């Protein structure tokens, strides 16, 4: 329980609606809705749950014009500071900007639409919309979806490809005279999150950072992974807003905020937790927190079942990733030994980057166990007795 030296933050302040982040402002705690945006009742309820838990910013994913229509109705019924996630559809920016306080775009998703158009033009399109409606922007770089150009320029160094992509996008926004932005560099590995954010903060100490360990997974492991990263970074003066990403049932989503606030309070009061012995030396289950893109409501249950049926293998250093949708699922399972990503009626199973097949929800666990046993046999010799 050593307390790292606490350092002062050096970032500039930016405005996200009525909220200020960066500079001396308190570190804001945020989360994201995990319901289908067009399911107005469920999404409004989740916004309410997050607001009651004390969320400073609530993010909603928007993929289509129908989602924008839903967002208009949701906006009418809440005063919460709202952010949208554009993911692959940057063309939605001018439609959502009048409705929200912040727009998040992922530099690694911009190439999907209008492939021949220069990235800079697409960024300008988003910046123009944000500027006109007084929105902040988050440049949100993610380990599983780094711009292929940066991946090929920094082979074998996923951290540097993330950092360089973020730094270049900051330069573009600077050149466009747009300063109201922050950056995030997320990975599912706490150590990589620490390293990526430290490297970025050295290059751009002025730019506010949004911290998160993506796909941290189910509690309690997901909380520990997040805590490892936040303790190191916040104590080093890095981080202006945080998001704890946990795989939770919809009604429990407020826990992300409660956990985030507790971690910040502990850091502030000098309570640094030691990492449990042997943590992540065996089986590591990564799972996304789910969002409006989740393809089947059974996702959270599936992630819980994966953990249960793989308990027999917990001593083996193997990573299993469970993702909720086709947007980020295929890319963000590439680095895992076994990856599952959900479709509406089938779950896709991968071994590293290789696809094994798609299986109905009631057959996937058996297939996963079969593949897990094969890996254990190949790498470690024999399969232990297991829970059937
Ligand atoms: S993997 Fe898909 S469902 Fe899960 S959080 Fe990411 S975008 Fe949402």
H/E element, 181 = strand 181-186
Mutate to test the pocket of ligand 1, among 324, 331, 334 (most ligand atoms within 8 A of CB): 324
* Spatial separation of the C-alpha atoms in residues 254 and 353, rounded to whole Å: 34
pLDDT at position 83 is 98
pLDDT at position 4 is 52
Query: Rounded to whole angstroms, what are the CA distances from 355 to 295, 334, 340?
Result: 19, 10, 10
Question: Helices (DSSP H) in 236-318: which residue ranges?
Answer: 255-268, 299-309
CA atoms within 13 A on the CB side of 145: 21
350 lines ligand 1 (CB under 6 A): no
Contact 9, 76 (CB under 8 A): no
290 lines ligand 1 (CB under 6 A): yes
Residues of the chain above pLDDT 70, percent:
97
Distance (Å) from CA 31 to ligand 1 centroid:
13
291 lines ligand 1 (CB under 6 A): yes
pLDDT at 5 over 70: no
**Residue boundaries of the structural domains of the chain:** 14-268, 284-380
pLDDT at 380 over 50: yes
pLDDT at 352 over 70: yes
Atom of ligand 1 nearest to the CA of 294: 3
Per CATH, which fold does 284-380 belong to?
Answer: Sulfite Reductase Hemoprotein; domain 1 (3.30.413)
* Spatial separation of the C-alpha atoms in residues 332 and 264, rounded to whole Å: 28
327 lines ligand 1 (CB under 6 A): yes
Mean pLDDT in the chain?
Answer: 94
* 232-274 pLDDT per residue, tens: 999 999 999 999 999 999 999 999 999 999 999 999 999 988 7
The 8-class DSSP code of residue 312 comes to G
pLDDT class of 203 with cuts at 50, 70, 90: very high
In this chain, the answer to whether the domains covering 14-268 and 284-380 adopt an identical fold is: no
Q: Which residues contact 150 (CB under 8 A, 6 or more apart)?
A: 161, 162, 164, 165
217 lines ligand 1 (CB under 6 A): no
Q: Which residues contact 331 (CB under 8 A, 6 or more apart)?
A: 144, 145
pLDDT at 6 over 80: no
pLDDT at 37 over 90: yes
Indicate the pTM of the whole model: 0.94
SS3 at position 4: coil
pLDDT at 279 over 90: no
How do 210-211 and 19-21 pair as beta strands? unpaired
Encoding tokens for residue 199? 């490297």
For residue 177, how many other CB atoms are within 10 A of its CB? 8
pLDDT at position 386 is 52
pLDDT at 387 over 70: no
Encoding tokens for residue 125? 């399109």
243 lines ligand 1 (CB under 6 A): no
Distance (Å) from CA 245 to ligand 1 centroid:
11
- As assigned by CATH, the class of the 14-268 domain is alpha beta
Handedness of CA 121, 125, 131, 136 (dihedral sign): negative
Mean pLDDT in residue range 17-24: 97
pLDDT at 383 over 80: no
Residue nearest atom 6 of ligand 1, based on CA coordinates: 328
């Amino acid at each position: 329980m050593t307390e790292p030296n606490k350092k002062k933050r050096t970032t500039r302040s930016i405005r996200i609606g009525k909220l200020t982040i960066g500079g001396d402002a308190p570190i804001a705690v945020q989360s994201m809705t995990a319901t289908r945006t067009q399911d107005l009742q469920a999404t409004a309820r989740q916004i309410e749950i997050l607001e009651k838990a004390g969320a400073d910013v609530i993010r909603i994913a928007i993929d289509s014009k129908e989602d924008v229509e839903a967002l208009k109705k949701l906006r009418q019924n809440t005063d919460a500071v709202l952010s949208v996630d554009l993911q692959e559809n940057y063309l939605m920016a001018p439609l959502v900007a009048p409705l929200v306080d912040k727009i998040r775009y992922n530099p690694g998703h911009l190439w999907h639409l209008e492939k021949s158009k220069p990235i800079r033009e697409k960024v300008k399109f988003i910046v123009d919309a944000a500027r006109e409606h007084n929105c902040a922007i988050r440049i949100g770089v993610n380990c599983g979806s780094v711009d292929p150009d940066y991946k090929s320029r920094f082979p074998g160094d996923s951290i540097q490809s993330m950092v360089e992509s973020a730094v270049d996008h900051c330069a573009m926004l600077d050149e466009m005279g747009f300063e109201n932005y922050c950056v995030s560099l997320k990975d599912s590995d706490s150590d990589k999150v620490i390293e990526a954010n430290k490297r970025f903060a050295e290059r751009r100490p002025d730019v506010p950072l949004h911290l998160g360990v993506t796909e941290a997974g189910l509690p309690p492991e997901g909380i520990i992974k997040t805590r490892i990263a936040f303790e190191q970074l916040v104590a080093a003066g890095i981080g202006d807003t945080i998001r704890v990403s946990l795989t939770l049932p919809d009604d429990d989503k407020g826990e992300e905020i409660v956990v985030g606030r507790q971690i910040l309070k502990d850091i502030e009061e000098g309570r640094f937790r030691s990492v449990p012995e042997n943590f992540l030396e065996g089986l590591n289950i990564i799972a996304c927190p789910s969002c409006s893109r989740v393809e089947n409501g059974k996702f959270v249950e599936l992630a819980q079942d994966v953990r249960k049926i793989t308990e027999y293998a917990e001593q083996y250093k193997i990573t299993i990733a469970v993702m909720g949708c086709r947007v980020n699922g295929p890319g963000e399972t590439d680095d895992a030994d076994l990856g599952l990503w959900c479709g509406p009626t089938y779950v896709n199973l991968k071994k590293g980057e290789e696809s094994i097949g798609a299986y109905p929800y009631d057959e996937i666990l058996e297939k996963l166990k079969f593949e897990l046993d094969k890996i254990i046999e190949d790498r470690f010799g024999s399969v232990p007795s297991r829970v059937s």
